[in-house]
């Protein structure tokens, strides 16, 4: 990618004529303009695809940040969502005001329902916030944010559940739908099993000059594979992460591709885009130190995922997508309970085929994640408080406490059994 850090001649007037204040993406160095355009476009696509989760009148219960937080009724919820979309569109012309309005309204919407705190939105939100800081700290913060996302994505996958489940599931379309040779499927399975190492390599080696091109190539390969296997030709699943994978490829190129400038423009680098030539880690950290607020935000963004291992920071904000180490829950119901559910919910009740513990489980399981995903177009929040919220919502259909049970397995600590108003810790074996 040819990303020059000097604006085209048509938008770079001489100092004698007076330099106009940039409006939107005009008058910016190309790297910054591409960064802003990528974030705005990807965020816009993600919001449109996930439209149902932004409504307050829906089947899946809301999970506000607190019971007293105000919830906008319909049609005000639609007006808020339309205003968020409009802010992103207007930000192409009036960047700062549009982004600030979007950040404020989207944060309010998240406080209405924590299911809206999706990992892709969290990353876009933080990076858009960084773009409001002065250059070169803005570019440096975004580079480091991308690197941190890859490092944590790799670290979160380094646990047995990922290796036992994800590689076989991920490559299944190659064997069952595309009928690729068994040897090639095995190679793919091994490649997926190496994904944690690939992500760590990308996050670290983007900062190593001799390995940077290899890290960029690895990033493109990882996200292309995700688009192939999760896209229309494969599982055709979780459409909201399709633009995220495309955006990640674009962001890696925009932020880390080497610049190509003609000698005529080589001396025209402005102080505002000094970070353009600072592709080293030390140079970007030095640039970031010029903005203490950006440095503090990046430090929190980088360190808080540590708390996810003990349940004090959300997995979605810790880059655990497809890592298989989020909190999990199973909801067990009786046949009579299932028959009282609305048809859209009853379609996700399945009979257990294996023997079960009659004291803790039940003859049927309600796949609440599949139901919520179908209703919201995004996965629900994978945290114990979200599971409890759905469990209490289901309680309205129960006529007897024995009809509805739930077992929650948090990321840290023992599993907990729920039945009616009773909850018991299940001793570990």
305-341 pLDDT, tens digit each:
999 999 999 999 999 989 999 999 999 999 999 999 9
Interatomic CA distance for residues 85 and 72, integer angstroms: 17
Contact (Cβ atoms closer than 8 angstroms) between residue 36 and residue 53: no
Residue 286 belongs to a domain? yes
Cis peptide bond N-terminal to 391, omega within 30: no
Q: How many other CB atoms are found less than 10 A from the CB of residue 136?
A: 24
Asked if residue 88 is part of any domain, the answer here is: no
- The dihedral through the CA atoms of 128, 132, 134, 135 has a sign that is positive
Question: Cα separation of 117 and 84, whole Å?
Answer: 15
Residue after which a domain boundary falls, among 291, 318, 345? 318
Does any domain span residue 99? Answer: no
Give every residue of the chain whose pLDDT is below 70, as ranges.
1-23, 259-278, 429
Handedness of CA 124, 45, 252, 118 (dihedral sign): positive
Q: Is residue 412 part of a domain?
A: yes
Are 270 and 355 part of one and the same domain? no
Confirm if 416 and 425 have CB atoms less than 8 A apart: yes
Q: How far is CA 129 from the centre of its chain?
A: 16
Provide the pLDDT for residue 371: 97
Biggest distance spanned by C-alpha atoms of the chain = 83
DSSP H or E segment with residue 133: none
User: What was the pLDDT predicted at 26?
Assistant: 76
Burial of 333: CB neighbours in 10 Å, binned 0-12, 13-18, 19+: buried
332 shares a domain with 305: no
Query: Which of the listed residues 266, 283, 318 is the one where a domain comes to its end?
Result: 318
Neighbours of 288 (CB within 10 A): 24
As a whole number of Å, the CA-based R_g of the chain is 24
Nearest of 277, 405, 286 to residue 334 by alpha carbon: 405
Question: Within this chain, do residues 199 and 233 fall inside the same structural domain, yes or no?
Answer: yes
Nearest C-alpha neighbor of 125 from the set 145, 143, 140: 145
Contact 131, 124 (CB under 8 A): no
Q: Per the domain annotation, does 254 fall within a domain?
A: yes
Q: Are residue 184 and residue 281 in the same domain, yes or no? A: yes
How many domains would you assign to the chain? 2
Q: Find out whether 292 and 137 touch, Cβ atoms under 8 Å.
A: no
Please, which contacts does 124-127 make with residues 24 or more away whose CB atoms are closer than 8 Å? 124/39, 124/42, 124/43, 124/46, 124/247, 126/297, 126/301, 127/39
- Same domain for 303 and 339: no
Q: Residues 313, 353: one domain?
A: no
Residue 55 covered by a domain: no
Asked whether residue 228 falls in the same domain as residue 296, the answer is yes
**Per-residue exposure over 249-259, b if at least 16 CB sit within 10 Å of its own CB, e if not:** bbbbbbbbbeb
Q: Which of 288, 318, 348 is the last residue of a domain?
A: 318
Alpha-carbon torsion (231, 236, 242, 245), positive or negative: negative
- Given phi > 0 = left and psi -120 to 50 = alpha, else beta, which region is 141? alpha
* 383 lies in the same domain as 261: no
Residue 249 three-state SS: helix
Closest CA to 326 of 239, 386, 403: 386
Q: What are phi and psi of 84, to 5 degrees?
A: -65, -45
Domain that holds residue 283: 22-50+118-318
Are 34 and 138 in the same domain? yes
In a domain, 102, yes or no: no
pLDDT at residue 16 in the model: 38
Q: Is 402 found in the same domain as 282? A: no
CA distance 32 to 127: 12
Q: Are residues 200 and 281 in the same domain?
A: yes
Cis peptide leading into residue 220 (ω within 30°): no
411 and 285 both lie in a single domain: no
What are residue 422's DSSP bridge partners?
A: 419
Would you say residue 62 lies in a domain? Answer: no
Strand order in the sheet with 404-409: 349-351, 364-366, 328-333, 404-409, 415-419, 422-426
């Amino acid at each position: 990618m040819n990303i020059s850090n000097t604006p085209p001649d048509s938008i770079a007037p001489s100092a004698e004529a007076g330099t106009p204040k940039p409006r939107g993406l005009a008058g910016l160095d190309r790297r910054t303009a591409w960064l802003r355009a990528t974030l705005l476009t990807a965020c816009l696509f993600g919001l449109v695809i996930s439209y149902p989760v932004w409504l307050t009148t829906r089947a899946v219960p809301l999970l506000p940040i607190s019971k007293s937080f105000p919830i906008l009724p319909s049609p005000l919820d639609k007006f808020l969502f339309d205003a968020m979309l409009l802010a992103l569109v207007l930000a192409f012309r009036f960047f700062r005001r549009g982004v600030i309005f979007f950040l404020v309204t989207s944060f309010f919407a998240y406080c209405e329902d924590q299911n809206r705190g999706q990992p892709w939105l969290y990353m876009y939100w933080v990076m858009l916030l960084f773009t409001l800081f002065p250059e070169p700290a803005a570019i440096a913060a975004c580079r480091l944010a991308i690197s941190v996302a890859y490092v944590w994505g790799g670290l979160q996958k380094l646990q047995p559940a990922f290796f036992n489940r994800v590689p076989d599931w991920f490559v299944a379309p190659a064997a069952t739908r595309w009928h690729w040779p068994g040897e090639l499927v095995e190679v793919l399975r091994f490649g997926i099993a190496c994904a944690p190492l690939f992500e760590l390599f990308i996050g670290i080696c983007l900062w190593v000059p001799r390995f940077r091109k290899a890290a960029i190539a690895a990033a493109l390969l990882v996200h292309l594979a995700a688009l192939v296997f999760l896209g229309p030709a494969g599982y055709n699943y979780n459409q909201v992460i399709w633009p995220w994978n495309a955006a990640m490829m674009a962001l890696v190129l925009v932020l880390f591709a080497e610049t190509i400038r003609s000698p005529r423009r080589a001396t025209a680098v402005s102080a505002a885009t000094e970070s353009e030539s600072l592709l080293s880690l030390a140079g970007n950290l030095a640039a970031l130190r010029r903005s203490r607020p950006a440095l503090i935000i990046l430090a929190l963004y980088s360190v808080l995922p540590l708390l996810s291992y003990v349940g004090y920071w959300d997995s979605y904000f810790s880059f655990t997508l497809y890592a298989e180490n989020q909190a999990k829950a199973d909801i067990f119901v009786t046949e009579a309970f299932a028959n009282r559910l609305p048809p859209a919910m009853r379609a996700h009740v399945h009979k257990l085929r294996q023997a079960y513990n009659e004291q803790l489980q039940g003859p049927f399981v309600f796949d609440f994640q599949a139901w919520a995903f179908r209703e919201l177009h995004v996965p629900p929040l994978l945290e114990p408080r979200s599971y409890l919220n759905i469990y209490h919502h289901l309680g309205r259909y129960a006529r007897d406490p024995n009809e509805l049970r739930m077992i929650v397995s948090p990321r840290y600590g023992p599993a907990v059994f729920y039945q009616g108003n009773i909850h018991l810790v299940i001793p570990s074996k």
